[in-house]
Structure 1
Amino acid sequence: MCNLYSMTASVDEMKRLFGAFEGDRGNLPPFGEIYPGKPAPVLRRDTGGGLKLELMEWGFPGPAAAGGRPVTNIRNLASPFWRSALNRPDRRCVVPVTRFCEWEGEKGSKRKVWFGLHEEAEPLFAFAGLWRPGEGGVPYMAFLTCEPNTVVGAVHPKAMPVMLRPADVATWLDSETATACALAVPYADADMRRMP
């Protein structure tokens, strides 16, 4: 389960990858380590159909049956808890990311292992996410996970985040449910790396 990622790209880098958006911030600070319960930049459709950038808290308030513990990763797309949001394109979002972490080692001596795209720099990509309004005006988000590819599976064999290519962003945000959910597949090993 991914419970740590970074987003250190600039607003200009986000615009180059995702296109123009509202809510432009002249100088978005780097988010070196984003943990659950913390704010993170997210892009979603606004009422006019364009993109809007806003900060959202990572973690949906969980179901009462589970004690309301926040849910950060969305694995079971058939769950009634997620189905209504998945069926509503206006509740889908993309979560900009420059790298993400899984943990390796025994309990008590775990260490961070970072993953990103294959290029030597830390290029921007996105997770497929869902969002909802929150009490007090702060919205919540969580992102989808799927079976891991070989690169991530060597460290975390249960799951990896659903990573979107730029060409997939509009499909995720705008398509009917089955087409959007078909993007929940492992990212190509050849396009990823375990970071030093």
Structure 2
Amino acid sequence: MIRLVKGLTDRAGNVAPGSVYPDQMAPIIRHGQDGRELVKARWGMPSPPSVLKTARDPGVTNVRNLSCPHLRRWLGCGHRCLVPVTSFSEPRGKGLGVQWFAPSETQNTMFFAGIETRGWTSLRKVKDGETVDDLYALLTCPPNGKVGRIQPKAMPVIQTRPEEWRAWLDGIRAEELRRPLPDGALSLVEGPV
């Protein structure tokens, strides 16, 4: 990441390889006080209060509705992030497991476009009590043909070129970025890469 994103400060330390799931910590690239920084954050932005049935907030992992007043405050430049990814999965259906996707060109670096907030106090797990966390969620778009066969609703906004990474972090309108990768850009794989 340090070599790919110019001027990046590493505040994440050693990041172990492995799969990341909602409500877990993962590396993200965000705006810091002194430029871009690599940090660890918890996957799941604060949920809109109107959807919570208890004090527990499981978090919003994917942002589909850019007009949601609750989430709109985090769409500006200062709350944008990139989530490094080598592969991702989508559920095949109840009891059918997941389908994994990876870049067709193995040398391509992928980032999900995301939003983040810092120092949010919430009750994520009752056993842990209230915690204060840096949080993030993924921006989604309509699926391409390959992903759409498995997940017809949406897919993550995936960026593969440095000019896309810079445009997202530096201020392109979210609506302009919400487009799927071309169908040939992803391949089906047996498991995480």
Q: How does 1:113-192 map to 2 (within 5 A)?
A: 113-120=99-106, 123-133=108-118, 134-135=120-121, 137-165=132-160, 166-176=162-172, 178=173, 180-192=174-186
TM-score, normalization by structure 1: 0.82
CA shift, 1:20, in A, is: 3.7
**What count of residue pairs does the alignment treat as equivalent?**
175
Q: Which has the higher helix share?
A: 1
Paired residues for 1:31-110 under 5 Å: 32-48=18-34, 50-67=35-52, 68-86=57-75, 88-105=76-93, 107=94, 109-110=95-96
Percent sequence identity is 37
Distance change in 2, residues 1:150/1:139 (3 Å)? same
Q: Give every structure 1 segment of 4 or more consecutive aligned residues whose post-TM-superposition deviation is greater than 4 Å.
A: none
Taking structure 2 as the reference length, the TM-score comes to 0.83
Distance in 2 of aligned mates of 1:53 and 1:25: 6
Q: How much does 1:188 deviate?
A: 1.1
Aligned-partner Cα distance in 2 for 1:78–1:25: 32
Q: Which amino acid aligns with 1:167?
A: E
Cα deviation per residue 1:117-139 (whole Å; 9 max; x = unaligned)? 11247x53101100011235520
Q: Equivalent residue of 1:33, what SS?
A: coil
Report SS of the residue matched to 2:164.
helix
Tell me, yes or no, if the aligned pair for 2:2 and 2:10 is still in contact at 8 Å: no
Give secondary structure in 1 for the equivalent of 2:46. coil
Please list every run of 5 or more consecutive structure 2 residues that lacks an aligned counterpart in the other structure.
122-130
* Unmatched tracts of structure 1, length 5 or more: 1-13
Change (3 A) 1:120 1:23: closer
Q: Deviations for 1:133-177, whole angstroms, at most 9, x for unmatched residues?
A: 12355200001011000010011111000001222011101125x
The RMSD of aligned alpha carbons is 1.8
